[in-house]
Amino acid sequence: MTTDASAKLTRNAVFLVLVASLGYFVDIYDLLIFLIVRKKSLTDIGVKSSDITAIGNNIINWQMGGLLLGGILWGVLGDKLGRIKVLFGSITLYSLANFANGFVHDPDTYALIRFIAGIGLAGELGAGVTLVSETLSKEKRGYGTMIVAAVGLFGAVAANWVSKYDWHTAYFVGGGLGLILLLLRIGTFESGMFKSIEQTGVSKGNFLSLFTNWGRFKKYLCCILIGAPLWYVVGILISQQPEFGIALHATSKLNAGDGIQYAYIAIAIGGIIAGFLSQVTKSRKLIMLIFLLLSAVSVVVYLKSVGLTSQQFLWLCFFMGFAVGYWTLFITIAAEQFGTNIRSTVATTVPNFVRGSLILINIGFVALKANYGTIHSGYIMMAILTVLALLALSQLKETFGKDLNYVEPL
C-alpha cells in the first residue's frame, strides 16, 4: 500500500471514529431523555402523582420494546444492505420521533412515540461499532470502540443540562441533533469487510441462525447476559431515585437527572479505563471480570447508605457508573465473537437486547419488592444478574487480537 493510500485510510478511519462517537452521543441523549424528564413531562400532561411510577414504567417498557424490535430489524439490514444504510435509516426515524415527542398530550401517544423512537435508536450503536471494528486494525480496534463509547456517553450530560430548561425543548434538541448527525454521515464509507462479501453467495444477516446451532446460540446468549447488570443499575437503582430515596431514608431530595448525569460521566471514564486496560493486558475477559465484581461492590455500598444526602447520592451514582463502565468492552466482545456475515446482526441486537432486558428486570424487581421490600429486592436482583454475568463470561473465548475478516458458516 502506498504512503498516500495509507494516509487516506488513516484519515477516513479517524473521521469514521469521530462520526460514530457523535452518533453514540445522540443515541445516549435520546435513549435517556425520557428517564430524565419522566416526572416533569408526565405531570404536565395531566398524570396524577400516584400514577407516575406505573405509567412511567409502562412508557419505558414500550421504548425498550422498540429497541428489541429495532435491534433485530437494523441488525439484519446492516448485514444484508450494509452498515451505512442502517445508520441513515435509524437516525432519520428516531430524529422524527423525538420531534413528535415534544408535542404529546397523553400517556398512550407518549408510549407509542417512544416505541417508534426505540426502534430508530436500536440501529445506531451496533452499526457504528461494527464499522469501527471492521475498519481499524485488530491491534487498535479496542481503542476505536473505546473512543466511541467514551464520547457518546456524554450525551447523558447534555440531556440533563437541556432538560433543566423545558422537557419539550429537550425532545426538540434531540431531534435536531439527529438531523445534524445525518448530514455528517454523508462523508462516511462502507466497511471493506462487508464489501468483500457483498456480491458473494454467502448467507448474510440470518438472525434465526443464531438459534439453530447450540454453540452459536450459547455464545450469543452469553454476550447478552454479561451486559445485563448495567441496565439494572441505571434503569432501576439510579432512575427510580424517589423510591430508593424513601427506602434509604434520604435526608434531602434526590434528583434522578443529576444522578444519571454523574453515572454516565463515570461510565465514560470507566469505559476509557476498561478499554485501555484491555489493550494493555491484551485481555477483554480479565478486565470484564474485574468490572463485574466492582459493580456488585458498588451496589452493596449504595444499598447500605441509609440516611444519604443528595450529594452522597450523586457520588454513589458516580461510583456505580464507573463500575459498570464495561459497556464499551462488552460491545467490543460481542462484535468480535462472530463472522462478518452476521456481525452487524449480533453487534446491533446484543446491546439492544441488554437494554430491552430492563423489561424483565423491571417485572422481576417489582415482584421481589412486593415480598421483600425495596432494599432487599435490590440486593437479590443484583446478585442474580451478577452470577449470571460471571457464568456467561466464563463461557466466552478471549477475542483480543482476533482476525475479524471471516464469515460464519450458517
The pLDDT tens digits of the residues spanning 301-347 come to: 999 999 989 899 999 999 999 999 888 788 889 989 998 888 888 88
Helices (H) and strands (E) in the chain, counts: 18, 0
For residue 1, name the pLDDT band (cuts at 50, 70, 90): very low
Residue 214: per-residue pLDDT: 93
Report how far apart, in Å, the C-alpha atoms of 36 and of each of 6, 75, 79 are: 44, 28, 34
Mean pLDDT in residue range 163-172: 90
Which residue bears the cell 423489561?
A: 359
The overall pTM is greater than 0.85: no
Q: Where are the domains of the chain?
A: 12-195+202-395
* Candidate from 46-60, 135-149, 243-257 with smallest mean pLDDT: 135-149
Helices (H), 282-357: 284-303, 310-323, 327-336, 340-356
User: What is the residue type of 158?
Assistant: A
- Answer whether residue 8 shows pLDDT above 60: no
Residue 374: per-residue pLDDT: 92
The CATH architecture that domain 12-195+202-395 belongs to is: Up-down Bundle (1.20)
Alpha-carbon span 83 to 23, nearest angstrom: 13
Residue 191: per-residue pLDDT: 63
Mean pLDDT in residue range 157-169: 87
All three cell numbers of 85, joined, read 444504510
Average pLDDT of the chain?
86
Which of the two residues, 186 and 58, has the higher pLDDT score? 58
